[in-house]
Amino acid sequence: MNLLHLVFWLSVLVVIYSYVGYGVVIYALARIRPRPHIRGPVRPKVSLIIAAYNEEQVIREKIVNSLCQTYPSELLEIIVVSDGSTDDTPDIVREYRYQGVVSLHQPRRMGKTAAVQRAVEQAEGEVLVFSDANSMYAADAVERLVANFADPEVGCVAGEKRVRSQEGTGVAKEAGLYWRYESFLKRMDSTVHSVVGAAGEIFAVRRSAFKPVETDSFIEDFVMSMRIAEAGNRVVYEPKAVSVEEAPASADDEFERRARISAGGFQSIVRLRSLLVSRDRLLVFQYLSHRVLRWAVVPFLLPVLMVTNVALVGDSFYMALLGVQVGLLGMAMAGWIMQRRGVRSLRVVQVPFYFFMLNLAALVGFHRYVSRRQKVTWKRTSRQPAYGEASLPTAVQGAVMQRGAGQKQ
């Protein structure tokens, strides 16, 4: 019984610490010992690299969005790499060659990591900005990212990812809530020391700090940014560099995306094992607390919590705790049923649903990783359609045409 009590309460503490406690600790550290970095109006040559696979629905919008960045156009190189695309993506990209957009395409699809690193070999910028085709940047996003490289210690800058939905219901709300909490943790991590991983939708790397990663990496953005931090460079967060993308169209799509990321999480833990013995103890603490526990420990502890709680039900106190667990599972199940039926539900139901979905996806991701079933050439999830170039604001279209005229001269 003593062992059961120990296992149960250790599991409780780890789960609470992973999702709540670390946020409190890192917030306190940010208040007690902040480590600010320099921002300044630097103007290096920048290469904006956009990964696109069968993105004909959004690629026009993304190119126009990139052309309208406030960063000086003569210093901004835009590269779209569309390896393996079988739709009209490559042809659409080539339509913008007179605006200076570089199209890289080869018929063979080898995965996003290989495509991105092929683009890096062609890029001329001192700063590399990485983006996805469905991620739309605020007009000053590139400028905001680059300003952080005024500090020579900064090797990588993570931007702010936001998730939106035209309906703002169901899983879209909880995905947005999750990313808002992640943004808070990134802000605190950056204030204290280094961000623990950058999101591939919007991050920038100093060319001299860039190191290629294994081409079979599932979450190359995370591995790349963590190796930059391990090498002694800071990875900082720029909340004013905003990228917006549509939420997954359904809970099934979100589950698939989270399972893929989880498989990549287990893969990255193995590949970043040297980081666990790094002399940078603060970075190790952040990495273990923010990522390793949430990705590789908590999903396995949740079943342990239930089993040990059942074994302890002879005590009325533990009977009550079991009732809480069963109640949360019941709310999660209700949330899942409402999602399947397309019924609008309350957040009191959706939050437990999203929490358990994340952890179930982690277990599925673990299975895919150890069984080698997760492919590097993953299928993208469906999302709400973006508007085409014809519906873009007139001022935006004018800016694109003006840039094109300048390129032809």
**pLDDT, position 115:** 92
Q: State how far the Cα of 316 lies from the Cα of 337, in Å rounded to an integer.
A: 31
Residues paired with residue 136 on neighbouring β-strands, in sequence order:
244
| β-bridge pairing 154-164 and 234-246 | parallel
Q: State how far the Cα of 20 lies from the Cα of 227, in Å rounded to an integer.
A: 26
Structural domains of the chain, with CATH: 2-15+294-370 (no CATH), 35-291 (3.90.550.10)
pTM score of the predicted model: 0.87
Contact 135, 202 (CB under 8 A): yes
Q: Which two tokens stand for residue 191?
A: 């204030």
Task: Give me the residue label for tokens 């996805």.
Answer: 132
In sequence order, which residues have a C-beta less than 8 Å from that of residue 121 and are 6 or more positions away? none
**pLDDT, position 45:** 98
In sequence order, which residues have a C-beta less than 8 Å from that of residue 154 and are 6 or more positions away? 37, 148, 206, 233, 234, 235, 236
Going residue by residue through the chain, which has 409 residues, state the pLDDT in tens, using 9 for 90 and above: 689 999 999 999 999 999 999 999 999 999 999 999 999 999 999 999 999 999 999 999 999 999 999 999 999 999 999 999 999 999 999 999 999 999 999 998 888 899 999 999 999 999 999 999 999 999 999 999 999 999 999 999 999 998 876 554 456 666 667 778 999 999 999 999 999 999 889 999 999 999 999 989 999 999 999 999 999 999 999 999 999 988 776 778 888 989 999 999 999 999 999 999 999 999 999 999 999 999 999 999 999 999 999 999 988 999 999 999 999 999 999 888 887 777 776 777 888 888 999 999 999 999 999 998 888 765 665 554 443 333 344 344 444 445 554 444 3
Q: To the nearest 10°, the Cα dihedral for 395, 398, 399, 400?
A: 130
- In one letter, which amino acid is 1? M
DSSP notation for 257-285: HHHHHHHHHHHHHHHTGGGGG-S-HHHHH
| β-bridge pairing 101-104 and 76-81 | parallel
**pLDDT, position 7:** 95
**pLDDT, position 173:** 65
Distances 263 to 217, 295, 356, 390 between C-alpha atoms, Å: 10, 9, 17, 39
